[in-house]
Structure 1
Amino acid sequence: MTIIDGKATAAKIKEEIAQRVKDIVAAGGKRPHLAAVLVGHDGGSETYVRNKVLACQACGFESTLVRYEDDITEEELLQCVEKLNNDKDVDGFIVQLPLPKHINEQKIIEAIDYKKDVDGFHPINVGRMAIGLPCYISATPKGILELLRRYNVETSGKKCAILGRSNIVGKPMAQLMMQKQYGDATVVVLHSHSQNLKEECRQADIVIAAIGSPEFVTADMVKPGAVVIDVGTTRVPDASRKSGFRLSGDVKFDEVSKICNAITPVPGGVGPMTICMLMLNTLAAGERKYYP
């Protein structure tokens, strides 16, 4: 059984990015610049954004953090987005989600210039991804593809079960895994209303769990020798930890790891790859790889 180490893989990719940035700068090119907009003081968002800033430093990027209190109006946030859209020094930017309830998240996402949308959430990037055109692919699905590639997991012609149908992971993952240029797999998407969920999951060669339900996937749901990718990161109470909680994946790791061929741990699996793929998207933005 192989542990698919996202932390080590992400560190390697960041080294590759940093070398590419050195080459660009040495040739007289511009250092990539990522901006992040953070609204309020959500603990998870604070951590994510801090890690993104640290990743920028590791990759040799310029980074800018724009902070607002959670009482910012939707109009003020839209003005910030427009300013970043027009800032020629900023290659790509993100607005960290979730946003306060009084702000329409979809309206903000659609206001971002799709050429700078390194999160890959704009409808134009989502649409281009769906039909296989060059674009920014959202970071978590992109990171999963990179892990499968770097660990030489055969996907072509295999059956892939995706648990979850979110816009951020489930849906784009299904689109990518079925496309010939990426997964070239036979894909089934399973969710809360799926019938025969266990049976469908058990037939899969690759299981990608992204439903946000701790330890939902048990050994009786996984075919022996399957590859299991655990996207879940739910905080569950744990009195033995100083923080009072621990991160739990969607897969019952102790059980499933005994029968599968390869598996991602939580933490240290998909999570580190997500931020790393944002860095790759920013590098692509700086090099005008997808959009001149």
Structure 2
Amino acid sequence: MILLDGKKTSEDIKTEITAQVSAMKSRGEKVPHLAAVIVGNDGASLTYVSSKVKACERVGFESTMVRLPSTTSETELLKKIHDLNADDDIDGFIVQLPLPDQIDTQKVLMAIDPSKDVDGFHPENFGKMALDMTTFIPATPFGILELLERYNVETKGKHTVVIGRSHIVGRPMSILMGRKGFPGNSTVTLTHSYTKNIAQITTQADIIITALGVPNYLKAEMVKDGAVVIDVGITRVADENSEKGYIITGDVDFENVSKKVSHITPVPGGVGPMTIAMLLKNTLLAREQRRK
């Protein structure tokens, strides 16, 4: 069994980006600038955005965190997005989700300039991705592709089963794994909460990508020998024996499933670290596109 080490791979990517940024500086070019907008005081969101800022510092990017109170109106947030769209110093930015109830998330995502949408959530970028055009791929699916590529996991002609159909992971992964190229060229089955007899489908899969957020959902008997398993799930599960009072658990019963598979991602340390690394890669792409 080969562990798909997202922590190590993400560090490799950051080292590569650092070298590219150093080369940009030596040529007298402007370095990439990523901004992050966060509305409210959600602890998990604040931690995640802070880690993105630290990652920017690590690779030599400029970064800006825009913090707005939870009482921010939709109009006020849209005004801030308009300002970021118009700011030539900002190459890309993200709006951290979830947003407070008074704000229409879809309206906010639609307001972001597609050329600065480094999260890859704007319909224009999603459409380009579906048409195999150069664009920003959502960071988590982008990270999964990078892991498959760097570990040289064969995908051509394989049967890929995706569990979960979110716009952030499941749906884009179903498109990307079926595209022409590598990773891709696989036959994809997209499953969800209304799919009957999922275990019958997953036991036929060469590659399983699960993004449900249900701890230990994928059991060993649902996986065939030698399969590749990508666990995108990340859930806090109460644990009295942990200092924090909880442990981070994925969708996969790792202890038992890992004994059957050829490749598997751990949780934590698998897909999670790749998400931030690929956000940096998208920001670098945005800077290069703006320079051209």
TM range (shorter): over 0.9
Equivalent in the alignment of 1:283 = 284
Poorly superposed stretches of 4+, deviation over 2 Å: none
Alpha-carbon distance in structure 2 between the residues aligned to 1:69 and 1:241: 32
Shift in Å, 1:148: 0.3
Corresponding letter in the other structure for 2:259: K
Secondary structure, counterpart of 2:63 in structure 1: strand
Corresponding letter in the other structure for 1:138: P
Alpha-carbon distance in structure 2 between the residues aligned to 1:195 and 1:98: 30
Shift in Å, 1:163: 0.4
Q: Verify: 1:245 aligned to 2:246, yes or no.
A: yes
Shift in Å, 1:203: 0.5
Corresponding letter in the other structure for 1:233: I
Q: CA RMSD in A?
A: 1.0
Alpha-carbon distance in structure 2 between the residues aligned to 1:20 and 1:202: 43
Q: Verify: 1:143 aligned to 2:143, yes or no.
A: yes
5 Å-filtered alignment, 1:82-121, equals 82-121=82-121
Q: Verify: 1:260 aligned to 2:261, yes or no.
A: yes
Equivalent in the alignment of 2:196 = 195
Secondary structure, counterpart of 1:137 in structure 2: coil
Corresponding letter in the other structure for 1:144: I
Equivalent in the alignment of 1:177 = 177
Corresponding letter in the other structure for 1:161: V
5 Å-filtered alignment, 1:24-173, equals 24-173=24-173
Secondary structure, counterpart of 1:178 in structure 2: coil
Corresponding letter in the other structure for 2:207: I
CA offsets per residue over residues 47-89 of structure 1, 9 Å max, x none?
1101100110111100000001100011000000000000000
Alpha-carbon distance in structure 2 between the residues aligned to 1:205 and 1:79: 47
Alpha-carbon distance in structure 2 between the residues aligned to 1:43 and 1:214: 21
Alpha-carbon distance in structure 2 between the residues aligned to 1:83 and 1:241: 44
Alpha-carbon distance in structure 2 between the residues aligned to 1:131 and 1:245: 42
Equivalent in the alignment of 1:225 = 226
Equivalent in the alignment of 1:271 = 272
Alpha-carbon distance in structure 2 between the residues aligned to 1:14 and 1:4: 17
Corresponding letter in the other structure for 1:180: K
Corresponding letter in the other structure for 1:212: G
Corresponding letter in the other structure for 2:184: G
Shift in Å, 1:219: 0.3
CA offsets per residue over residues 146-183 of structure 1, 9 Å max, x none?
00000010001100000000000000000000001241
CA offsets per residue over residues 78-119 of structure 1, 9 Å max, x none?
000000000000000000000001100000000000000000
Secondary structure, counterpart of 2:36 in structure 1: strand
Secondary structure, counterpart of 1:274 in structure 2: helix
Corresponding letter in the other structure for 2:201: E
Shift in Å, 1:217: 0.2
Equivalent in the alignment of 1:211 = 212
Q: TM-score of the superposition, structure 1-length normalised? A: 0.98
Q: Percent of aligned positions with the same letter in both sequences? A: 55
Alpha-carbon distance in structure 1 between the residues aligned to 2:188 and 2:89: 41
Aligned positions, number? 291
Secondary structure, counterpart of 1:288 in structure 2: helix
Corresponding letter in the other structure for 1:206: I
Unaligned runs of 5+ in 2: none
Shift in Å, 1:196: 2.1
Alpha-carbon distance in structure 1 between the residues aligned to 2:192 and 2:222: 14
Equivalent in the alignment of 1:186 = 187
Corresponding letter in the other structure for 1:101: D
Corresponding letter in the other structure for 1:22: S
Secondary structure, counterpart of 2:24 in structure 1: helix
